[in-house]
Structure 1
Amino acid sequence: MENLVTRAEWGALPPSQQWRALPRALGVKIHYEGREVPADLARPDQHHRCAARVREIQAMHLADPVQGWIDIAYNALVCPHGRVFEGRGARRESGANGDRRLNRAHYAVCAMLGDSGLTEPGPALLHGLCDAVDWLRERGAAGPQVVGHRDGRDTDCPGEPLYRWILAGAPRP
C-alpha cells in the first residue's frame, strides 16, 4: 500500500509487552479520537503534523494506567490527508474495542477526527479508511464487516458523521 506510514516512519515506540496474535477477524471496527482535533489539521499543508499526533496518541495509551495498554491501541490510524499509519498492524490483537472478546473479533482503525474541531470526514480520509480496511483484509484476514465502535460498546464513537458513512456501507468516495 503506497500510502502506508510504517511504525518506523512515524517514530513508534516499541510495545511494552509482546502483542497477542490475531490470525483472522470478522472485520474492522472504525473509531475516532473522541477528543478535540484541530480543524486546521485537514489543510493540505498540515500533513507534517500527523505523525506527531499519532506519537501523542501512542504516548497517551502507554501512560493510561486504567486500560493497561501495551502499545497504541489501534491496528491503524488514518489522517485527514488519507495516509494510513501502521499502529499495531495486521495479525495483532487490537486494544481499542473494549474487552478481549471484542478485540479478538475485529481490528480497530482510528480516523483522526474528533468530537469537536475536525468532525467531518473528507474524501481523502474516507479513501484512507477504505485503504486501511483493504490492507487488513489482505494482510490480516479481516472479514467483510465494517462497523463502528458503538456497535460493540456503549459509546458515541466514531461520532455521527463517520457512523453515517459506516451505515451507508463504508463506500469509497
Structure 2
Amino acid sequence: MTLSIQTDEITGENIVTRRDWGADPDGDPTGNGPIEGSPGIAIHYAGSIWPVPILHRNCDEYVRGIQESHMTGLYDDIAYNYLVCRHGYIYIGRGHQYQSGANGTDFGNATYYAICGLTGVLDGPVLIPGTTPPLVSAVRRVIDHLETLGANASDTVGHGDIPGNDTLCPGNLRPYVEDGSFQPEGTTAENAPEPHAHIRVTQTAEPPEWPGVEFTNPPPTEHTSVQVWQEQMATRGWRLDVDGVYGNRSQLACRLFQAEKALDVDGIVGEQTWNAAWTEPVTDPVDWTWPGLYFRYEPASLHPDISRSYPSVTTHTSVSVWQSQMAHRGWNVGAVDGVYGAQSQAVCLAFQDEKGLTVDGIVGPETWAASWDAPID
C-alpha cells in the first residue's frame, strides 16, 4: 500500500521517510485504525539478538528487516509509529495518525504511540554504549512533535509499564524513561532528575586508592577491586560484566577506554588506567566509522627504491581500536599496541579473503566497516 506523507508529519534534518528507507509497499500502516484523543508515549527498544548497526549506512536495511519480520508475523506493517537509530535519525513507521501494533494489547495500541530506539541486547561487539546522546535527543524530538499534535508527553512510559504487558522492554532505555531524559522542555516535573543523570559520572578530585593489584588476562584477575573498577566503568556507559573477574569483556573495554583516553593500550588496569576511570571526563560514545586513515605495513626493506608519501608502518590509536575489534572476533592480532605490523597485516589479509573484500592488506573504509558489520563465521 503506497501512502503519501501524512499531514503534519515531522520534517526537517535527519528524517527518514518510508520511501527513503525502502518500506515494503505492501505494508499497511492503517491496519489498526486511527489513533485518537491524547495518546501517551510508549518507549521500546529493539531488544533482539541482531546486532544493532554501528554504521548509519546499515540502518535502513535494519529497519527494513524489522518490517519484514513484523509482516511475516501478526502485523500488517512495521509495528512502531517511529524508530530512532543511535546516530540520531528518525524513521517514519506508521506515523502519527495510526495506532501502533507494538504495544502488546488493544488498549496499549489505542492509547499510546510506540517509539522504538534501535538499541538492544547486542549493541555492537566493541562494547560501545548503544544508547547515544543523538538517539536520546531524537526520541525527545519525536515526542516534542507529537505533543504539538495533542499527545500527552507527560505520560511517557516504558512498553512494559502498559497494563497487561509482561516484558523487560524498553530494556536499556528504561533509565531514560524514568529520569525524564525523553521529556520535551517544559513537560518534566520540577523535581524530576537531571536528564542523563544515570549516565553522568561525578568526577572526584581523588579516585579511590589504587589497590596495588594490576588486572590482567590471561589468567583473569579475580579481586574485590576488579568489581569496584567494573562498576565505575559501567557507570560511565561501558557494557561489561560486573562480577569481580577481569574477563575478556572487561579487558576489551579497558583497551578501548585506553585508546579513547590516549593511554598506553595494553589491556592492563594499572594505576594510571584505574585513576582515569574516575578522573577522565565521560565523552559521548564514539560512532566507530572509518577514521580516515589507511593502515599499511610496508617495511622500507621490501621496496628500497620506492619513495612513499605515507609512513611504511601505520601507528595510531585507531589501530588499537581495530586490533581490539579483530581480537574480539577471534583473530590472533598479537599485541593490541596501535602499531599495524606484520601480524596485524596477516590478519587483515586473511579477513579480507574470508569476506570477499579486495585482498591488499590495507585497512581502508570497506575493511574497517566489515570488521564491525560482517557476520562472525
Deviating above 2 A after TM superposition, structure 1's stretches of 4 or more consecutive aligned residues are 14-19, 23-26, 36-39, 116-120, 135-139, 170-173
- CA 1:170–1:26 in structure 2 vs 1: closer, same or farther (change >3 Å)? farther
1:86 aligns with 2:92: yes
* Residue range with higher mean Cα deviation, 105-114 or 23-32: 23-32
- 1-side partners of 2:112 and 2:65: how far apart? 24
Normalising by structure 1, what TM-score?
A: 0.86
Q: Which amino acid aligns with 2:122?
A: S
Normalising by structure 2, what TM-score?
A: 0.41
CA contact (8 A) 1:24 1:91 kept: no
1:146 aligns with 2:124: no
- 2-side partners of 1:27 and 1:135: how far apart? 13
Which residue does the alignment assign to 1:5? 16
CA contact (8 A) 1:75 1:108 kept: yes
1:111 aligns with 2:117: yes
CA contact (8 A) 1:75 1:88 kept: yes
| Count of paired positions | 164
Q: CA deviation at 1:131?
A: 1.2
1:130 aligns with 2:140: yes
Q: CA deviation at 1:35?
A: 1.0
Structure 1: runs of 5 or more not aligned: none
- 1-side partners of 2:50 and 2:134: how far apart? 16
- 1-side partners of 2:45 and 2:89: how far apart? 15
Instruction: Tell me the SS of whatever aligns to 1:29.
Output: strand
More strand by percentage: 1
- CA 1:143–1:17 in structure 2 vs 1: closer, same or farther (change >3 Å)? closer
Percent of residue pairs bearing the same amino acid type = 37
1:12-48, Cα deviation, whole Å (9 max, x unpaired):
1232474311133431100011113436x23xxx111
1:36 aligns with 2:46: no
Q: Which amino acid aligns with 2:144?
A: D
Q: Which amino acid aligns with 2:22?
A: G
Q: CA deviation at 1:154?
A: 1.1
Which residue does the alignment assign to 1:51? 60
CA contact (8 A) 2:35 2:111 kept: no
1:166 aligns with 2:172: no
Q: CA deviation at 1:133?
A: 1.2
Q: CA deviation at 1:100?
A: 1.0
Instruction: Tell me the SS of whatever aligns to 1:132.
Output: helix
Equivalent residue in structure 1 for 2:36, among 10, 15, 23: 23
Which residue does the alignment assign to 2:70? 61
1:71-118, Cα deviation, whole Å (9 max, x unpaired):
000000000101000000001001000111110110000000112335
- CA 1:13–1:151 in structure 2 vs 1: closer, same or farther (change >3 Å)? same
Instruction: Tell me the SS of whatever aligns to 2:79.
Output: coil
Q: CA deviation at 1:128?
A: 1.0
CA contact (8 A) 1:31 1:109 kept: yes
CA contact (8 A) 1:21 1:91 kept: yes
CA contact (8 A) 1:37 1:112 kept: no
Q: CA deviation at 1:138?
A: 2.8
The higher relative CO (CA closer than 8 Å, separation ≥ 6) is in 1
CA RMSD of aligned residues (A): 1.9
- 2-side partners of 1:17 and 1:53: how far apart? 18
- CA 1:92–1:17 in structure 2 vs 1: closer, same or farther (change >3 Å)? closer
